[in-house]
Amino acid sequence: MLYLIGGVPRVGKSTLANLILERNKISYVETDWIVSMLLFAAPQLGIKYATEFTKEEYIKKAENFFPYPYQFIKYNQPVVEKYIIEGDIFLPQHVSVLQKEFEVRVCFLGTSNLKPDTLLNNPSKNDWWIKKLSKEQLNEVCKWIVAISNFLEKECKSYSLPYFDLSMDYQKTLEKAYTYLT
């Protein structure tokens, strides 16, 4: 069984993956690791971190990246019984493709409200890029995260996929996502 946790950056995907790891002993892979590997080991592939905070850039990055996790899943699924992949690189349309071929439990995480203080006061191991932003850029990133969350929520509805908004009661909603996946 593949557990797939998708959604925007900085909303709790790794936190949910770690929760499943701690409680159920199911290992996970962050798509950031695969992006980093491809970025440095094979730059000619054009896989890279987003340079613009736009919906178009987000979709383009996901479209360019999808063939790589697809192959990873294709060759891993018969060998590893249970594992998690989490990242901001999957779109609901990608998940619908995966569900036709593989046993997949999925959820997407997002937020309808995000303030810069929330990002700054809840550090994560992957927030190196947050610390480099000016106050204006940080505000723009928060708006972008909310906009992409809204986009993903609509896309999830059109593909009948679960979406969890973590902006209200973070811990309770994270537990709901955990319960749904497991």
> Would you kindly state where each structural domain of the chain is located, as residue ranges?
2-181
Look at residue 89 in the predicted model and tell me its pLDDT.
Answer: 86
Which has the closest alpha carbon to 163: 5, 43, 28, 1?
5
Q: 10's torsion region: left (phi>0), alpha (psi -120 to 50) or beta?
A: left
Contact yes or no for 103/2 (Cβ under 8 A): yes
Instruction: Please give the backbone phi and psi of residue 153, each rounded to the nearest 5 degrees, phi first.
Output: -60, -45
Alpha-carbon distance of 152 to 8, in angstroms, equals 8
Q: What is the pLDDT of residues 97-144, one digit of tens each?
A: 999 999 999 999 999 998 877 766 666 666 666 677 788 888 888 899
Residue 151, pLDDT above cutoff 90: yes
What percentage of residues in the chain have a pLDDT greater than 90?
Answer: 54
Which has the closest alpha carbon to 70: 42, 44, 43, 95?
95
Highest mean pLDDT among 27-41, 56-70, 142-156: 142-156
DSSP state of 162: -
Rounded to two decimals, what is the model's pTM?
0.90
Q: 6 Cβ partners below 8 Å, 6+ apart? A: 13, 86, 87, 88, 89, 90, 91, 92, 95, 106, 107, 108, 109, 152
Q: Which CATH superfamily is domain 2-181 in?
A: P-loop containing nucleotide triphosphate hydrolases (3.40.50.300)
Residues 135, 115, 49: CA angle, nearest 5 degrees: 65
Contact yes or no for 153/6 (Cβ under 8 A): no
